[in-house]
Amino acid sequence: MDPAFFIVGFQKCGTTSLYDMLVQHPDVSKGLMKENNILAEKADRLNEFRLCFPLNEKGKITGDASHLHTWMPWGLERIKNFYPNAKLIVIMRDPVKRAFSHFNMEQKIGYVTQNLTFDQYLDIENILRKSIEDGTDPDETYNKTKLYGNRYGWALSRGIYANYIEKIQNLEMDFLPVFMEDLATDYEGQSRRVQDFLGLNYSNLPQKVTNRGKYQSKLNQDTERRLKAFYKPHDDRLESLLNCSLAWR
């Protein structure tokens, strides 16, 4: 079965929770894995990717959820080329909170050393970002920073959602923006909105919250102000691209 939808949000934005919600729908068949990154990787392995989905079943659809489809330059283009009728769900959250959660996740799993502070991490990333000539080009961001030990993206850069939304719009892909904050405060309304976008008959789906991080450290106010200042122009641009207010503002 060809995937009818792709959840292509960002790390620590609720992609797993949204996917787990959708696969409870009686008309959605679950694939072999939630985060199937094959299509996003550099090597073209379409046949291998297709084997990860269930056989055709009348009246049912299936889908995929992977944040790497936005981070790696090949992901969105492959979806466009191989599955032109597929719909995208782009899930986002407050980029300040997302960046801090991203850092803590990487520290927890060993990508970042325990003695590195969040501010030191941001200083390193900002040095790397100086090599980027076009700050609105997500592919250049990937190519200029991927060589520095983190193939899944850096915490600060991954929160510049406008870059990825603009790429999706330029590819003329059918997408629905979803904010994690709205799912938390209006779950039923957002669930109905997502199901309607996918052409599903409404079903009352239980709320699933998964992969919620439990971290020891807290974001200090000075760093929070620093991040808010960094993201302000990017969030302004995002509001313009989406023509709507952002849930975290």
Angle between helices 95-109 and 221-242 (to 10 degrees): 120
Spatial separation of the C-alpha atoms in residues 145 and 128, rounded to whole Å: 6
Q: How many CA atoms lie within 13 A of 146 on its CB side?
A: 13
Structure-token pair, residue 229: 């200042």
Whether the Cβ atoms of residue 244 and residue 179 lie closer than 8 Å to each other: no
Q: Does residue 44 form part of some domain?
A: yes
Strands (E), the chain: 5-7, 28-29, 61-65, 87-92, 175-179
Percentage of the residues of the chain whose pLDDT score is greater than 90: 75
Q: Does residue 115 form part of some domain?
A: yes
Question: What band does 234 get if pLDDT is binned at 50, 70 and 90?
Answer: very high
Q: Does residue 166 form part of some domain?
A: yes
Render pLDDT for 29-84 as a digit per residue (tens, 0 to 9). Answer: 998 877 778 888 888 889 999 999 999 999 999 999 999 999 999 999 999 999 99
Mean pLDDT score, 156-182? 97
- Taking alpha carbons only, the member of 26, 93, 44, 89 closest to residue 63 is 89
Question: What band does 189 get if pLDDT is binned at 50, 70 and 90?
Answer: very high
Above 70 in pLDDT, residue 214? no
Angle between helices 161-170 and 221-242 (to 10 degrees): 20
pLDDT the model gives residue 244: 96
Count of domains observed in the chain: 1
CA distances from 31 to 161, 195, 236 (A): 27, 18, 37
Above 70 in pLDDT, residue 211? no
Whether the Cβ atoms of residue 15 and residue 91 lie closer than 8 Å to each other: yes
Mean pLDDT score, 83-95? 97
pLDDT the model gives residue 207: 86
Spatial separation of the C-alpha atoms in residues 157 and 28, rounded to whole Å: 33
Above 70 in pLDDT, residue 149? no
Q: Does residue 249 form part of some domain?
A: no
Above 70 in pLDDT, residue 210? no
Render pLDDT for 11-34 as a digit per residue (tens, 0 to 9). Answer: 999 999 999 999 999 999 998 877
Above 70 in pLDDT, residue 164? yes
For 74, residues 6+ apart whose C-beta sits below 8 A from its C-beta are 39, 40, 41, 42
Q: Does residue 174 form part of some domain?
A: yes
pLDDT the model gives residue 216: 63
Whether the Cβ atoms of residue 178 and residue 17 lie closer than 8 Å to each other: no
Structure-token pair, residue 31: 């694939």
Q: Does residue 137 form part of some domain?
A: yes
CATH number at residue 235: 3.40.50.300
Across the chain, mean pLDDT equals: 92
> Which residue segment(s) compose the domain that 70 sits in?
5-242
- Taking alpha carbons only, the member of 155, 148, 164, 160 closest to residue 73 is 164
Q: How many residues does the chain have?
A: 249
Question: What band does 148 get if pLDDT is binned at 50, 70 and 90?
Answer: low
Q: Does residue 247 form part of some domain?
A: no
Q: Does residue 165 form part of some domain?
A: yes
Above 70 in pLDDT, residue 167? yes
pLDDT the model gives residue 94: 98
